[in-house]
Amino acid sequence: MEPIDHQKPWAVLPLKSVRTANSRLTPVLSAVEREELSLLMVKDVVSVLESSANLGGLLVITNCPIMTSHCAKLEVTVLEEGGRPQLNSAIKKAVQFLYQLGVKKFFTVPGDVPLLSLSELDRLIQCVQMSTGIALVPSHDGQGTNSIASSIPIQISPQFGFDSFSIHRQSAKDQNVSVDVFSLPGLGFDIDEPQDLIRLSSMDGNSRTQKFLTKLDLVDRSNRFAKVTNWRFPRSEALM
């Protein structure tokens, strides 16, 4: 490991097993395609993170051998999760590891935000460096949390899951911790549902993930699945 920069914040990137990641995309992607998508999105995210001169370092935490091997090829520091996979405990373990290294601040990044940009990343890093509380980046639906940033030790317990954005804000309020909220479109746009893939494939951009999606007829796949199962997109996402 290279010498630690204790003054710059580190990014924590928790990664699921490629065998179970993106399960909600099953209606439009095969198991092999979901695995390839997972690896490409991680590569896109890591590429942006490593391009920032303002980042102290990047720590991946995972229990997936495939992800571990993939990140090793990307020359990323990997911490083995161990035990039963659980996002909140994985983040706590990663932060404890950084604490032992003497790192002062951190923020989380999900592995499924292929539209993350360097400008957004550096804006978040600047906020983290200046903040005395925590910073939150909401997901595009406003309910989830796509990034939590804090000094180390972490000032509130991570509680990722359903409605985590409001839970994190309330937790900070209860503990008298200030909160900065940043709506960052790229970092906030995670890939969860088939309609997210279709939106992503229609957006401008040249990410590895978008190039992969251009090879797939996602609209046709979605429509065929809908006819068989009566599945429907939310009205705001309906296909024309």
Q: In angstroms, rounded to a whole number, what is the distance separating the alpha carbons of residues 108 and 72?
A: 19
- Counts of helices then strands in the chain (DSSP H, E): 9, 7
Residue 141: half-sphere exposure toward Cβ, Cα within 13 Å: 14
How far is residue 175 from each of residues 77, 148, 172, 230, measured CA to CA in Å? 32, 16, 5, 46
**Predicted confidence band of residue 3 (pLDDT cuts 50, 70, 90):** low
- CA terminus-to-terminus distance, the chain: 51
Residue 83: its pLDDT value, please?
73
Q: What are the sequence ranges of the domains in the chain?
A: 10-188, 194-237
Burial 170-189 (b: 16+ CB within 10 A, else e): ebbeeeebebbebebebbbb
Residue 9: its pLDDT value, please?
96
Tell me which architecture the domain covering 10-188 has in CATH.
Alpha-Beta Complex (3.90)
- Compute the residue count for the chain: 240
Residue 210: its pLDDT value, please?
94
| Lowest pLDDT segment from 48-62, 108-122, 198-212 | 198-212
Query: pLDDT over 70 for what percent of the chain?
Result: 92
Q: Which of the given ranges, 34-43, 70-79, 80-89, has the highest pLDDT on average? A: 34-43
Residue 228: its pLDDT value, please?
56
